[in-house]
């Protein structure tokens, strides 16, 4: 019992002595000790401004006014870290023995500046800034004798400056660090709200000492936003560099991206998994990637260069069936309530800014693509994007029993323009025209070549600006709603025209396509056509002229006029042309009768290979000549 009382007395005396030591040790002295130790460990200054006082509860330590941690020697942008207020709880006995064991740091309103030069130097690389010139990089921690058990950061601002790039700034940041034992993993939590919803990152760092010294550490991290998660398991460093497995499970992709400030436009759930590598020169790669979005599953591998002004992507995407009908179901109506499915193309502004987000080359291989009204079969395409201009080269695209090759161009460098240069072989007209132009009257297989260019910020503007040219050749087919053979017999009740072949060429200017050489071959008829089709205004003004075949010339022509809107065109015989044609025939007959009568009266017999009209003209010239000679007295 005596020994126990002695031990208790010693313990009480030690505690009283410790309290007395803290009471007589000024706060500035503690701050100076901390600053000296940080300087020795990192090579940078730790400055305290304003009053530095002793805090007794809940942890012994100091409370300060503004505190600042120095930047790298090459930086001219002020301290790497500063805070309006700080509370630091320390292990006093450890500090007196020459070590810093911080029980807790609480920072209010800190401003964190991360910088990187064009040659790759980073101000967060504390190990390199504290190492003597000419010395070899250390693989161990440079913070010997330093320990931080707990840190809390509230209402922080983070700025990220990369030489030659646009600065990035995030506000309302929060962070916590729990690291009770330097030999144990550190628990780190980061929180922010860059846009519409909070974003948190929870990470476990196996060797925080190595990470702070510039080496790699095993890391497990989870990012959470809008009920979606992104997980990383692997190795990472502050360079930055990382290698490991990444996976994402996002129940609402639109809300998730909005929370990150990346914009929406991706409805529905999405998942991702793959092996990720990030090198120090900011080369990001994804291998064995698997992505599900919009109800589709694709496999991909990609390489992304992040070190330039914008990401440069090289990617390969493969899928069996792609279904984009959910993207086609949006509201296409414009301010007037008109849509591309009604009486006019949509006037809604097209946002083509996504063309400027990346550069690079993306190849696509799919066995089927469903775009709603437009069905595509086996597809092989390559998209090249350069400075807001995308070129999609179609090496194979099967659609409507035919094949399409060529290229599409979308250019948003100085306003939006689009171009298509296509070669279509043996495509089925009826389903193709129904899907693309809401015209379902034609059947048959067609070969088509076209080159067309348009510009504008809406579908309405683009369709009304189209210019280009093209040609089409169709084998045996039909035209529903009109029977040319019946029309020649006076029956306008409709029906179906069956033709053996059809050819045509056209030019397009300001959204109006003009054709003057349509030729349609039918069993007993031939038909020609000419007129215009308003691609922009969705109108048609066209005349088809069927002809009964004769031995030397058409025996009868009954023009058929097709006019009105695409949705409800009027198809009827052109009676004005029929009447004019009949009157012309009667006039010609009367003229010929008069000529014959005149020839008889003048006793004119046409010579061989000479028409009555020429004979009359010659006779009149001879008679006029005789009269003139007689008048002149030379006869």
Please state, in angstroms and rounded to a whole number, the distance separating the CA atoms of residues 357 and 459. 22
Please state, in angstroms and rounded to a whole number, the distance separating the CA atoms of residues 512 and 467. 8
Please state, in angstroms and rounded to a whole number, the distance separating the CA atoms of residues 108 and 27. 19
Confidence at 627, pLDDT banded by 50, 70, 90: very low
Confidence at 576, pLDDT banded by 50, 70, 90: low
User: What is this structure's pTM?
Assistant: 0.68
Mean pLDDT, the chain, integer: 78
User: Average pLDDT in the 410-422 region?
Assistant: 94
Q: At what angle do helices 612-631 and 575-601 cross, to 10 degrees?
A: 50
Q: How many Cβ atoms sit within 10 Å of the Cβ of residue 582? A: 10
DSSP designation for 457: S
pLDDT digits (tens, 9 = 90+) for 160-179: 888 877 888 888 888 888 88
pLDDT digits (tens, 9 = 90+) for 189-216: 999 887 778 899 999 999 988 887 788 9
Decide: 286 and 256 in contact? Cβ < 8 Å: no
pLDDT digits (tens, 9 = 90+) for 317-375: 999 988 877 765 544 444 444 544 456 888 999 988 888 989 999 999 999 988 777 77
Confidence at 599, pLDDT banded by 50, 70, 90: low
Does 583 score more than 90 pLDDT?
Answer: no
pLDDT at residue 127, as a whole number = 58
pLDDT at residue 633, as a whole number = 44
Confidence at 527, pLDDT banded by 50, 70, 90: confident
Kindly state the percentage of the chain with pLDDT values over 90: 33
User: Average pLDDT in the 448-471 region?
Assistant: 95
pLDDT at residue 597, as a whole number = 56
Q: Domain locations in the chain?
A: 18-127+143-184, 200-309, 313-327+339-465, 466-573, 590-631
Please state, in angstroms and rounded to a whole number, the distance separating the CA atoms of residues 272 and 292. 7
CA 508 to chain centre: 29
Return phi, psi of residue 516, to 5°. Answer: -125, 5
Confidence at 5, pLDDT banded by 50, 70, 90: very low
pLDDT digits (tens, 9 = 90+) for 230-272: 999 999 988 789 999 999 999 998 888 888 877 656 778 999 9
pLDDT digits (tens, 9 = 90+) for 211-227: 877 889 999 999 999 99
What SS3 class is residue 503?
Answer: strand
Confidence at 9, pLDDT banded by 50, 70, 90: very low
């Amino acid at each position: 019992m005596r020994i126990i009382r002695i031990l208790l007395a010693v313990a009480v005396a030690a505690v009283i002595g410790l309290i007395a030591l803290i009471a007589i040790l000024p706060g500035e002295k503690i701050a100076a000790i901390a600053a000296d130790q940080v300087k020795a460990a990192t090579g940078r200054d730790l400055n305290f401004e304003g009053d530095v006082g002793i805090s007794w509860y809940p942890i012994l330590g100091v409370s300060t006014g503004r505190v600042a941690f120095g930047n790298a020697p090459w930086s001219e942008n002020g301290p790497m870290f500063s805070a309006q207020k700080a509370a630091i709880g320390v292990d006093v006995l450890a500090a007196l023995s020459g070590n810093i064991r911080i029980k807790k740091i609480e920072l209010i309103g800190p401003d964190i500046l991360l910088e990187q030069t064009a040659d790759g130097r980073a101000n967060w690389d504390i190990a390199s800034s504290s190492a003597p010139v000419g010395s070899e990089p250390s693989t161990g921690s440079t913070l010997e004798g330093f320990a931080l058990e707990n840190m809390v950061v509230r209402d922080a601002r983070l700025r990220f400056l990369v030489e030659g790039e646009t600065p990035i700034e995030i506000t309302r940041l929060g962070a916590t660090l729990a690291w009770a034992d330097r030999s144990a993993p550190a628990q780190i939590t980061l929180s922010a709200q860059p846009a519409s919803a909070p974003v948190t990152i929870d990470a476990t760092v196996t060797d925080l000492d190595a990470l702070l010294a510039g080496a790699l550490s095993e890391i497990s991290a989870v990012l959470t936003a809008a009920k979606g998660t992104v997980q990383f398991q692997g190795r990472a460093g502050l360079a930055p560099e990382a290698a490991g497995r990444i996976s994402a499970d996002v129940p609402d992709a639109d809300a998730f991206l909005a929370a990150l400030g990346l914009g929406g436009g991706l409805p529905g759930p999405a998942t991702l998994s793959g092996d990720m590598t990030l090198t120090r020169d900011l080369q990001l790669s994804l291998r064995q990637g698997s992505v599900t979005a919009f109800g589709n599953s694709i496999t991909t591998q990609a390489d992304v260069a992040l070190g330039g002004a914008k990401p440069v992507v090289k990617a390969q995407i493969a899928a069996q069936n792609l279904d984009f009908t959910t993207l086609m179901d949006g509201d296409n109506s414009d301010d007037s309530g008109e849509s591309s499915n009604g009486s006019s193309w949509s006037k809604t502004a097209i946002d083509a800014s996504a063309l400027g987000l990346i550069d690079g080359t993306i190849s696509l291989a799919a066995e089927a693509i469903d775009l709603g009204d437009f069905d595509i079969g086996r597809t092989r395409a390559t998209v090249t994007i350069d400075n807001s201009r995308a070129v999609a080269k179609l090496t194979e695209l099967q659609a409507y029993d035919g094949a399409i090759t060529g290229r599409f161009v979308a250019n948003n460098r100085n306003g939006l323009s689009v171009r298509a240069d296509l070669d279509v072989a043996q495509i089925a007209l009826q389903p193709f025209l129904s899907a693309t132009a809401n015209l379902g009257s034609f059947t048959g297989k067609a070969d088509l070549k076209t080159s067309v260019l348009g510009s504008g910020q809406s579908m309405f503007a683009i369709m009304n600006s189209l210019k280009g040219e093209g040609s089409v050749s169709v084998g045996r087919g039909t035209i529903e709603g009109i029977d040319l053979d019946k029309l020649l017999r006076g029956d306008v009740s409709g029906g179906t025209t069956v033709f053996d072949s059809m050819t045509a060429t056209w030019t397009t200017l300001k959204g109006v396509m003009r054709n003057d050489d349509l030729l349609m071959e039918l069993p007993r008829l031939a038909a020609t056509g000419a007129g215009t089709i308003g691609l922009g205004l969705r109108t048609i003004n066209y005349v088809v002229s069927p002809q009964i075949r004769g031995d030397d010339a058409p025996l009868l022509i009954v023009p058929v006029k097709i006019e009105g809107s695409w949705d409800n065109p009027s198809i009827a015989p052109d009676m004005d042309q029929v009447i004019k044609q009949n009157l012309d025939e009667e006039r010609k007959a009367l003229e010929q009768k008069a000529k014959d009568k005149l020839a008889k009266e003048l006793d004119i017999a046409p010579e061989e290979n000479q028409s009555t009209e020429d004979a009359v003209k010659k006779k009149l010239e001879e008679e006029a000549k005789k009269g003139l000679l007689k008048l002149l007295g030379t006869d």
